[in-house]
Amino acid sequence: MNKAGGDGYVFAVASGKGGVGKSTTTANLGVALADDGFDVAVMDVDLGMANLAGLLGVDPNVTLHDVLGGEASPADATYETNGLTLVPGSTDLEQFARADAKSLHRVVEYLRERHDVVLLDAGAGLSYDIAMAMNVADGVLLVTTAELASLTDATKTGKLVGKLDKPVVGAVFTRTGDGSFDDVEGIATALGTTDAVTVSVPHDDAVKLAVRKGRPVVSLKPESPAARAYKRLAAKLADSIGIEPATPEPTGFEWVDPDTGETEDPAKPVDDGDGPVYEIPLEDLIEEAGLNAEDDAAKRRVKLYDRVKSKFS
């Protein structure tokens, strides 16, 4: 796929351990891609611990769980927010029990057909639901902190990805610079992701503030270190898989010559006021406008124009 615009690329954002910033990465990566011109959908497929809606400031009535339980259509569970499409999950335990992950592929295909990029916020650990999310994706993005326990679990997730014959397209190391092991190159080697996109997201209080406010940090604090890191991640991922946003259709007013039917040449420089000025008689302007030049008011306008002109000539 080279040019986005339907049949989009599907990323599963996964981690081996909870609490490493996987959902935060999904939300901010999605908004950063949308800001770059991509038509983006994000879906919370962490069926047991859904929290993506809160990070994007959405309080949903219909969720992915309703769709997987056969009680709603995919379209019913979509919400437009922060420049992207969100399919949230439910925090209700009863809905979790009714949700059938086998239907996940149907929702993913619905989104793939309508968006350039689809991000699946997968759960942490190694479960059937998580394996299903990875299996319907085109590539997997691993998220981990630089702590030993998180790295160990992320390595296990990476091995599961390999068994599913899916590529690890990137690795995101969150909360770096806070005293933990920061040798990103060494960590990437340990994870087997040296050939993938690698981005380090620094420890940043702006992220905590954004979570409390229910807004992505790339929108709330776009110049913060973490926001800049997520923007780099978006650009690198798009470049690595060779996708670019679809060219938007021209909008707005377009001048057309009434005699020739030709449009204005877009390469022609816009008149900035320094070019030659062509004087057009007021009588001609009145005639072109379809006004009656013999009208008394029109005659008065001509006389007024002539008097003003004589003062400056």
Domains identified in the chain and CATH numbers:
9-240 (3.40.50.300), 260-313 (no CATH)
Query: Is this structure's pTM higher than 0.95?
Result: no
Question: pLDDT value at position 275?
Answer: 46
- The reported pLDDT for the residue numbered 167 is 87
Low-confidence ranges of the chain (pLDDT < 50): 1-5, 179, 265-273, 275-279
* DSSP assignment letter at 271: P
Q: How many beta carbons lie within 10 A of that of residue 187, not counting itself?
A: 23
Residue 213 has a pLDDT of 94
Residue pointed to by tokens 């040449």: 265
Q: What is the dihedral of CA 269, 271, 275, 278, to 10 degrees?
A: 120
Give the length of the chain: 313
Nearest-5° angle of CA 53, CA 56, CA 61? 35
How many Cβ atoms sit within 10 Å of the Cβ of residue 40? 28
Q: Which amino acid is at 266?
A: P
Nearest to 52 by CA among 76, 29, 33, 75: 29
Q: What is the rounded CA–CA span in Å between residue 71 and residue 64?
A: 10
